[in-house]
Amino acid sequence: MNEETKNPTEQDIEAFEAASAAPTSEAVAELEAELEKLRNEVLYAQAETQNVRRRLEKDAADAKAYAATGFARDMLSVADNLSRALAAIPAELRGDDKLKSLLTGIEMTAKDLDAVFNRNGITRIEAVGQKLDPNRHQAIMEVDGGGAEVGTVVTEMQAGYMIRDRLLRPAMVGVAKAAG
């Protein structure tokens, strides 16, 4: 072996002693600052992880709660048609024994559909007599309110529906207009 690698020089010994000596207050301060920085980074990472977890849980709950929205919108036309069928039957025919079973069948179907809607969080929006709410009502026309306050819904052309706390379809309404 080479002589230089066998025997450490005085310079090597001094460097070793300096390195193994007690750390200076500057070195301790630097290490404490770095430790504090790393602690903060860990806390931020933990907070971000928790936020992502909460967001994913909320997204999963929303997806479950509102998964049937498209299907529900399609079913609204069925509810509309059943309501129109019931409304189209004149009062004098409602007592006819020949039509009684047909009328009963249509009414039962409408009730069953309403029950299915209720089980799935789909509710009809109350419109007539309410103040116009642009988040729930779509004003189609202004009509003479017959004493109703301006901006009050006086007629409903098509029922509106909510699915839980979200609008499924706005109610199409006529609102009272100012006199004159």
Q: pLDDT above 90 covers what percent of the chain?
A: 37
Tokens at 106, concatenated: 């249509």
Q: Is it true that domain 69-177 has CATH number 1.20.59.10?
A: no
> Is the confidence at residue 150, as pLDDT, over 50?
yes
Average pLDDT rounded to a whole number, residues 70-77: 88
Q: What is the pLDDT of residues 30-55, one digit of tens each?
A: 889 999 999 999 999 999 999 999 99
Task: Please work out, in degrees rounded to the nearest 5, the angle formed at the alpha carbon of residue 94 by the alpha carbons of 90 and 97.
Answer: 140
Ordered DSSP codes for 33-57: HHHHHHHHHHHHHHHHHHHHHHHHH
Choose among 126, 32, 124, 23: nearest CA to 72: 124
Say what the pLDDT of residue 20 is.
63
pLDDT score, position 24: 78
Q: Is the per-residue pLDDT at 165 higher than 90?
A: no
Q: Are 160 and 171 in contact (CB under 8 A)?
A: yes
pTM over the 0.75 mark? no
The radius of gyration computed from the CA coordinates of the chain, to the nearest angstrom, equals 37
Question: What pLDDT sits at residue 93?
Answer: 82
Has residue 2 got a pLDDT over 60?
A: no
CA atoms within 13 Å, Cβ hemisphere of 131:
0
- Give the integer Cα–Cα distance in Å for 64 and 121: 12
Stronger pLDDT, 53 or 144, i.e. the higher one: 53
Q: What pLDDT, in 10s, does the model give residues 79-132?
A: 999 988 888 888 888 888 888 888 888 899 999 999 999 988 899 999 998 899
What integer pLDDT is reported at residue 62 of this predicted model?
81
3-class SS of residue 177: strand
